[in-house]
Structure 1
Amino acid sequence: MATSASIPGSWSENILEYFLRNNLIATEDGALITWYHAANCKAHLDEALKSPAHMIEADVLLPSDGSEHVQPIMAHPPETSSDLTLQEWLGAVLQSNKGIKLDFKSLAAVQPSMMLLENVKPQLKRPVWINADVLPGPDGTSRAVAAKPFIDTVTSFFPDVTFSLGWTTGWHPEKVNDGYSWTMVKEMEHICGELSQPVTFPVRAALVRQSSAQLLWLLSKSNRYSLTVWTGKNDDYSVEDLLYIRDHFDKRQVFYDILEPQNHEFKQAIGIKVNL
């Protein structure tokens, strides 16, 4: 019996297969997938929908205003207010063919958000990724979201959704920054090895090169696994670091959510045309 993960046009369809089937990429290569990051207000969402980006990422939280019927909104801490609710955000994105990535910083917003997603499940018909940092990582100072209740809540609504499960991280320009340790990747495999759905691991670009042995080991544990390489606004890393990742990892298993100008330079270096 086919699962929804293998059905074309379902919210759990493989991201590369979906965009390839819709003639939006030419081959199964994670570097071809483009991202719009932090579409957390009406103006940015409108810009994202008009952009060439394949995937729209946004942050969901529950405002703590004491209201009994509070709705999930689109905002990234320390912001706690927004001109955009998740319900409005979904209504707009579902008019497009773009994929969805929702990022959660706390458990409180997860269940009400899954209820809203369930209400539009028949209209999803595009990749949906659900993200949280569930483990402490290199120099991470923010609080991780508890892995088990997060995963259990999401899977109670969407049993084969693609998870994006990461580590809290920090980066400091004035010191040597440690990468992802063996303890960190083994703890993540302990969590994800019991799952059956696809999992992508968001990893900080400036920390990947020194962690390549650990991350290659993690990806080797399952063909369900991938990496999503992301960057902090003030991180110091080079296009050569991105090319190192490109050369040492399977191109079907690595996605790049990279800020400019490195994104443009990286895509040029590997011969991918960038639509600005």
Structure 2
Amino acid sequence: SWSENILEHFLRNNQITTKDGAEITWYHAANHKAQMNEALKSTAHMIEADILLPDDESEHGQPVMAHPPETSSDNTLQEWLAEVVKSNKGIKLDFKSLAAVEPSMTLLENVKRHLMRPVWINADILPGPNGSGKVVDAKLFIDTVTSFFPDVTFSLGWTTGWHPQKVNEGYSWPMVEEMEYICHELSQPVTFPVRAALVRQSCSQLLWLLKKSDRYSLTVWTGKDDNYSVEDLLCIRDHFDKSQVFYDILEPQNYEFKQAVGI
């Protein structure tokens, strides 16, 4: 089932040793064929990739694997799935627009019986701290995905920004309260992707959110130019249940963090 907790899945398959979200390893932005192939050969448990519909008509409305500002790719979702199903990797599919969701769900449905592993479906559905990106309509996104897959795991986030020259606000009470309002009626597991550089100043709000349901978790991610410390990550680790927080972070902080926590 795609609603199975990923820790349970990878424990059952002897790929991790404890119910600790820090044990799960990630490969981020496995969009182009070269990155996808590298991800499939890697030790990562979960592969994250981005999906959009290209602006031009040459792909005939085929969803492709790309992250804005890119709008085209050497890899369609259909080609990507054909390779990924041969592996044992879990997947997280990140949608930047609503238009790509329905055609992508159709393609996913075609390979569902071959995907007996975690599948997370992600979109930023609310404006967040310093966020200027476009949000994906929450109701339409959730309704479209659940019409195909009622038990999929959702990854529902906020648009965010981080500015080196400014004081960066964290996730505010109205932001987490609105997210809880959207998610409390869902029956699926939900993970909230949160930006590493903004979590320390938002601990109270995010703790409150996670306590609202045992279906909830956090996935800590980072922008490549964000400035944050391993101490920030250790602060998260000290305050939150280890089974409720995943870390999709870049090097060198990822290595330093794993060393610091003994993984």
Q: TM-score range by the shorter chain?
A: over 0.9
Q: Where does 1:147-158 land on structure 2 (aligned, <5 Å)?
A: 147-158=138-149
**Shift of residue 211 of structure 1?**
0.3
SS of 1:13's partner is: coil
Shift of 1:68: 8.7
C-alpha distance in 2 between matches for 1:34 and 1:137: 26
What displacement does 1:11 show?
2.9
Quote the offset at 1:12 in angstroms. Answer: 2.8
Query: How big is each residue's C-alpha offset from its partner over 1:189-215, in whole Å with a ceiling of 9 and x where there is no partner?
Result: 000001000000000000001000000
Cα RMSD for the two superposed structures: 0.9
Q: TM-score normalised to the size of structure 1?
A: 0.94
Aligned residues: 263
Choose which of 2, 20, 31 in structure 2 pairs with 1:11. Answer: 2
CA shift digits 1:132-171 (9 cap, x unpaired): 0000000100111010000000000000100000000000
In the alignment, structure 1 residue 94 sits paired with structure 2 residue 85: yes
Shift of 1:66: 3.6
Counterpart in 2 of 1:3? none
- 1:67 CA drift (Å): 5.8
Match for residue 174 of structure 1 among 150, 155, 165: 165
Question: What are the Cα deviations for residues 39-66 of structure 1, in whole angstroms up to 9, with x where unaligned?
Answer: 0111000000000000000000011224
Please list the CA deviations of residues 233-254 of structure 1 after superposition, one character each: whole Å capped at 9, or x if unmatched: 1111000000000010000000
How many Å apart are 1:70 and its aligned residue?
1.8
1:113 is matched with which residue? Answer: 104
Q: Deviations over 1:72-98 (max 9, x none)?
A: 100001101111010110111110100
Say whether 1:140 aligns with 2:128.
no
SS of match in other structure, 2:262: coil
Give the structure 2 partner of residue 5 of structure 1. Answer: none
Say if 2:34 is the partner of 1:43.
yes
**2:244 equivalent in structure 1:** 253
Note if contact 1:56-1:100 (Cα within 8 Å) is conserved in structure 2.
yes
| 1:25 matches 2:16 | yes
Distance 2:56 2:252 in 1: 39
Aligned partner of residue 99 in structure 2, secondary structure: coil
Amino acid at match of 2:67: H
- Kindly, what percent of the aligned residue pairs are identical? 81
**Matches of 2:162 and 2:49, distance apart in 1:** 22
What CA distance in whole angstroms lies between the structure 1 residues aligned with 2:52 and 2:70? 10
TM-score by length of 2: 0.99
Amino acid at match of 1:102: L
Unaligned 5+ runs, structure 2:
none
Separation in 1, partners of 2:38, 2:113 = 25
Cα displacement (A) at 1:119: 0.8
Query: Are 2:230 and 2:253, in contact at CA under 8 Å, matched by a contact in 1?
Result: yes
Match of 1:71 in 2: 62
8 Å CA contact 2:2–2:151 kept in 1: the answer is no
Write the letter of the residue equivalent to 1:20.
L
SS at match of 1:108: helix
| Superposed displacement of residue 15, structure 1 | 0.5
Query: Could you tell which deviates more after superposition, 90-99 or 58-67?
Result: 58-67
Distance 1:60 1:196 in 2: 25
1:211 and 2:202 matched: yes
Tell me, yes or no, if structure 1 residue 163 matches structure 2 residue 154. Answer: yes
Task: Report the residue type matching 2:159 in the other structure.
Answer: T
Q: What runs of 5+ residues in structure 1 fail to find an aligned partner?
A: 1-9
Q: Is this contact kept in 2: 1:12–1:126, CA < 8 A?
A: no
Other structure's SS at 2:236 match = helix
Query: What is the 5 A alignment of 1:217-256?
Result: 217-256=208-247
Alpha carbons 1:42, 1:84 under 8 Å: kept: yes
